Structure 1
Amino acid sequence: MTAPTSPAPAIEAVQWFNTDTPPSLDALRGRVVVIEAFQMLCPGCVSHGLPQATRIHETFSRDDVVVLGLHSVFEHHEAQNPTSLEAFLHEYRIAFPVGVDAPGEPGGLPITMARYGMQGTPTLVLIDRKGHRRVQHFGHVPDLRLGAEIMALIAEAA
């Protein structure tokens, strides 16, 4: 786990699902934030990343941990539009808030994905209670390892 250095970059979403109020990292200070960046056509996201994010959402108290999805589309744009995403979230029973990452330059990465220097999807980011990015994983992360990292961040402010 890296030491805190500066606040995590803001999430630049053009639309949110599963929430009445668009969440902001500033408003979530005091809780550990888990961001699961995914694409609905990404096999690793569907088989590992999103189920893991759902388990985190169902396991930890919302007073301690908040899970946010970030649909960061960098390929197959036409097939991964917000209408398709809404159906996908319903079919896969994704209950946590999911933002649609704002598009970047044509042919480039979405804005939030670029701000975080993500290599692709799935990417999981852990932000501590003070709003600092502490962990960033690209690809599959074992549940036990991730649970230990989340618990360490929860315990820091206890």
Structure 2
Amino acid sequence: MNDASARTLRLAPALSADRWFNTPRPLTAADLDGKVVLLYAFQMLCPLCVHEATPLVNRVHRLTRDRPGIEVVGLHTVFENHEAMGPQALAGYLGSAGVRFPVGVDRHEPGHDAPVTMRRLQLIGTPSFVPVDRQGVVRDRIFGVLSEQALISRLERMQAEAG
């Protein structure tokens, strides 16, 4: 994604979740305002998410949670096997996978396989990573898995940018 197209998409209006886990209340644009956000879109039945991406994001969260201005947010973006991935199953998965960062359940609209945020952010599958700068601008959409160092470096660079 080039820089010009990245600047046209903001996280706040794009994020639409029906339910939240690991947070006392739903996250809002105000909660994320002024922070660098790593949005992690996943499905709990996606093998790459389960075996590589979720453990990776757990490590990134542990390494950045005490750094002011960086937030890791998960988004369960179910676009297949809807019956098997309901809220009860997701709660069990998050617990067994050791997920402690906030996770929203991407909202579905009738007539669409892909959920709302997944479509708005033009994500092509899971796992996907969406780094967002302090102004709420989506900087990239990454399909697949990066290294832990690549993710952390990207977040730190965005945090160091003048705001």
TM-score (norm 1): 0.92
The aligned runs of 1:47-86 (5 Å cut-off) are: 47-60=51-64, 61-86=66-91
CA RMSD of aligned residues (A): 1.7
Does residue 93 of structure 1 match 2:93? no
1:7-156 equivalences under 5 Å are 7-8=10-11, 9-60=13-64, 61-156=66-161
Identity %: 40
Instruction: State the secondary structure of the residue aligned to 1:99.
Output: strand
Q: Which runs of 5+ in 2 are unaligned?
A: none
TM-superposed CA distance for 1:142, in Å, is 1.8
Paired positions, count: 158
For structure 1, which runs of at least 5 residues remain unmatched after alignment?
Answer: none
Task: Give 1:5's aligned residue.
Answer: 7
Question: What SS does structure 2 have at the residue aligned with 1:36?
Answer: strand
TM-fit CA distance, 1:147: 1.9
In the aligned structure 2, how far is the partner of 1:103 from the partner of 1:5?
A: 26
State the SS of the aligned residue for 1:141: coil
Per the normalisation by structure 2, the TM-score is: 0.89
> For the Cα contact (< 8 Å) 1:36–1:122, is it kept in 2?
yes
Q: Distance in 2 between matches of 1:120 and 1:105?
A: 19
Higher helix residue share: 2
